[in-house]
Structures are given as structure tokens and as C-alpha cells.
Structure 1
Amino acid sequence: MVSDSAAAVAPQGTDDGNASRSSTDLVIVTGVSGGGRSTVARALENVGYYVVDNLPQTLLLEMAELAHAAGGTAKRTAMVLDVRSRAFSTDLTGAVKALRDRGFSPRIVFVDADDKVLIRRFESVRRAHPLQGNGRLADGIAAERELLLDAREQADVLIDTSHLNVNQLRARIEEMFAGEDSRRLRVTVLSFGFKYGLPPDADFVLDARFLPNPYWVPELREHTGRDTEVSKYVLGQHGARTFIETYARLINTTAPGFEREGKRYLTVAVGCTGGKHRSVAIAEELARRLRDVRLAASAQHRDLGRE
């Protein structure tokens, strides 16, 4: 089925087709079991790749053609090869050559680790090696190394994960395959009304109800925190700017730690009674302050317009 679809959308023999295929960013991920393929796959997803896991090697070309035809997010596709697949073969060289003959420019990432480290990892999760059979763990590892010898030799990126933890491996991949903007923590400052409930995805919850409510000012009641007159009123209240500055410093201080731990999205919820005046004004200003310190921040307003 995949083969027929790929053939239909990918006519061969045209220079223009080959030239356009070279713009499709293909990454092939393989390596020893227990080496960290799944971590590499998640890291590539973090930086915008469409990841196909456990792909049989015989379907590399068909998948590449489908990614090329689909365009959009599929223009950056990572294909993870798993020795456990029954269709796995040792001829990765031939498969990669077929891709290049068709005009693609794949990069091969191979993850490896010392035998002692692999044994410890398998034992820690109480799993057998996929090629172990009735033998020992060491037998399965040795068999896999033999199977993957050619793949390792032709890898564009070889990463030994023996002394890397999950976060360090993820960071390494993101540094290799993403620009700075893709790796940055993205902060959403979300205004909301307490009477409608807390946002379930909030990482921080800020309460702006200590400030006077513009709702009780007749000329401000029908306006929102996005309007200049309401914003000036809210931000002009005693303690408002100190409140914003305090949380801006807190978020800026903790952001590098969140990034090191692999968090890519942070939601800072700012609440007031109805989510129309105070929380909206505070959220807009806090997002602006965070952008001033070079964080990728935007303001969103969950309950604005619900009244």
C-alpha cells in the first residue's frame, strides 16, 4: 500500500524532482538496543521533526517519498530503524544509496554504548535483549553489533551514550538538529477567571485579586485589560509593578533549569475574578517583560469575552 502511494506521487527521472527532494530533511536513526534511540526520537520531535518509529528498512524509500509529497511538517522527517523489525536487513548501505540516487540527502545517526552499560540498562528494566533468544544478554548484544556493523561505519553522527543521561543526550541531539529558536523554552502567560476554574495545565498560578477591580469603576467596566485605560489603571495600583517584576525575575531565573530538564512549554496562569480586567492587563505586561529578557513569551486570555 505504501509503495503504491509513493510511486503515484513521486515520478522518477526528473531533475526538478530530484532537486526538490534534496530539500526534504531526512534523518535515519539507528543503533544498539538500549543505546537511546527512543530518547533521540523524542528530541527530534521536540525540534519539529515528524518521527516514524520502528520503520522496516525496506520501507525507507517509500517513506521518504511520502514525506516529500506531503510537504509541510513532513519536510523534516526522522525514521527510526529497529533491529527487532522482522523486515530489518543488514543492507543499510544499499537503502541509503537508493535514497541518494532518488535525490534525497539523508543523515544517519547511530547511538552506541559500552557492553557493560547496555547490560546494566537492560537489567535495570528487567528486559531481555531482542536478539538474546535463549542465550545471555551479552550474546544478544554481540549478535546485534554484528548486524549493525555496516550501519555504524557509515553513520554521519555517532553518539556514545555510555556516560550520558537522558537529558544530556536529548540536549546533544537538539543542539545538532535545531536552531536556537526551536530549543528555547516558550512561555505562555495565560489570563483566566477564578470563577471559571483553574487552568489544568498551569505550571505557575498567580493571583491578581489583591488589586482593585476595574469592574467597579463605571467608565472601565465594559472595557478589558487590553484597553489602554484599563491597563493604566491596573498597572498604576500600589504593588502591581512589583508583583510583575517579582514573577518576571522568578521565571527568568528558573527558565534555564526547565530547559535543561527538557521542558519546552511553560504556562504561567494569571487569575482575577472574571478574567477580563486585572489578569488580562497583568498577563500582557508580564509577557512583555519576559520578552525584554529574551524569553519567547506570549499572552493568551482564556476567559476574555465569556461574560
Structure 2
Amino acid sequence: MTSDSPRPRDDDGDAAKQTRILLVTGLLGAGKTTALRALEDLGWEPVDNFPVRLLPRLVSTAPGPGHDRNSAESHPLAIGFDSRTRGFDPQRVIAEVDALARRVDIALSTLFLDCGSEELERRYNETRRRHPLAGDRPVAAGIAAERELMAPLRRWADVVVNTTSFSTNDLGRTIRELFAPSAPQGMTITVSSFGFARGMPPLADLVFDMRFLDNPHWVDELRPLTGRDAPVASHIAADPAWQESFGRIRDLVLSLVPLYEAQGKSYLHIAFGCTGGKHRSVFSAESMAHELRKTGHNPGVLHRNLDIGASDLVEGGSRAG
């Protein structure tokens, strides 16, 4: 998940009167249709394959700030679009949506559904569907072209969900946790792990580099495991640097969360990094999520690089990492 700046609010409670709009996009085959169905079940009004250039016109016809929140017209809008949408241009989408997001009568956010290329290829082969951008080339070529096309939107989105290892039920549960209109109105917290070798998360709010910890990659029996596995967790926790350093990180995060909430921030993304995103960062993210739950928060947990088959090669690229 990524994070946005807080929307303007005033003391008269105008934020409660905003029209809530969620843009749902991502890679073809990553689960947009499933996400929209889940949102519909939650009371959102879904509109799929909507030309984003017409979004200002749609918003202008939505109920104004003074409308009855209990009326049939008060449902929040979930608008789906992807690379097949007519006139699709990522940079133009970003510019138009940025302009709308400045309006105080709109609470607008964007969900981007991502998925590993190998898993997308498997899904296409399983359904025997052709990738719209592949033409007469292999499916993998179409997926690569689309990933490049959609990269600006992925970097810019408020929330990124990787569905590589998700079942339909997993995605539905994640959507319910993130976007239930009836859920308590508070800040959504996501704790993630990543590998520096594949780049930092572009819009994380807090980033912690855990590469100072002893690397389980160099222990043969731990190398194929992840930070979710008990032997790896025990190895990292036994590092003399772990307890004090993580304790300070935990105390810092727990002190900052209420301050972010007081500023009206909608999303908070806390990211932990190591070289390959498989061991130290994963254990750290899971540990932080546990600490947040102990204080009454319900963070989502995302592990960006666990779905990458070449993690071992990345992790092993530099012993210093």
C-alpha cells in the first residue's frame, strides 16, 4: 500500500460530507473484477471500464455535500478502468485525478492491483485468453508491455495490493478490510517488506533499513526459508542488535501513529527493507504488525518480494547486504 497526503478538512465536519470515490485499476488479470464485486457487496456503486476523461462530468452529477447520506444516491463510487479503457493515458489520468483530489467536496483515492508476471501468465494460459497488448506475440510480451505502460499509475496510487498469492477469497477479504464504508473511520495502516535490490517503495511514509542485522541468507538451512518461518525469526532475534534497535523503531512508530491520525491522514505505510526482501525485512514487518495489533490497530501486511522466484539470487548478489 502507498500513502497520500491528508485531504483538506475544516472544523465544521465537511470531511464527513465528502463524496467518496475509489478508482480501481491495475494489471489485466490481477483481480479488478473481483475487487469491484467485493466493493459492490460492501455498498459501493461500481462502474467498470469508465473513461477517466469523463470523471469530472460524472462527479459533477454526484450528490452534493448537503445530500442525505442515507438515501439510495449516497453510495460511494468505485470506478474501474485499465489499459483497455478507451483513450487510456496514464499521465493524463494522473493529472485529471490530481485536479479532482484538490476539491474539498471529494474524498478520492486510488487502488492499484498488481500481480507477478509468472502468475499472470499462468492465469492467461489457464483461461486460454489472449492478452490485449500481446498481439501475435507470447502472453509474456503483452504482460511486460502493460507493466511498463501502467508503471506511472502504480507509483502514484494510494493503495497497492499484490494479488500474486491471493485466492478470490483472499482478495475479497483484503478489500473488505481496506474499504468497508461501515468500518471505523480511522487511518489505514499498512506494514510492508521489500528488497533494496529491487528498489525502494516509492511512496512509503516511514522506511527502515534492516540490513545491519545478521543475514540468514548465509546460513544454508535458512536460505530457502523466509522471515515468516520460526527458524529465521529465531536467528534474527538472536542478533544482539535486534532487541534494542527494533525496540526504538517500535517506540518511534507507536508515538507517530496518533500524530498522523491527528493530521487527518487516510493511509500510513511503514516499510522495512533488506537486500532481497525475504528474511530480515519480512520478520521486521511481521514484528511491527504484531506490536501495532497489541495497541488496538489492525494493520495490513504486504511482502513485496516474496512472490519473486529469483529472491535468492538477489539476496546473494552482495554479501555486504
Larger RCO: 1 or 2 (CA < 8 Å, sep 6+): 2
Larger Rg: 1
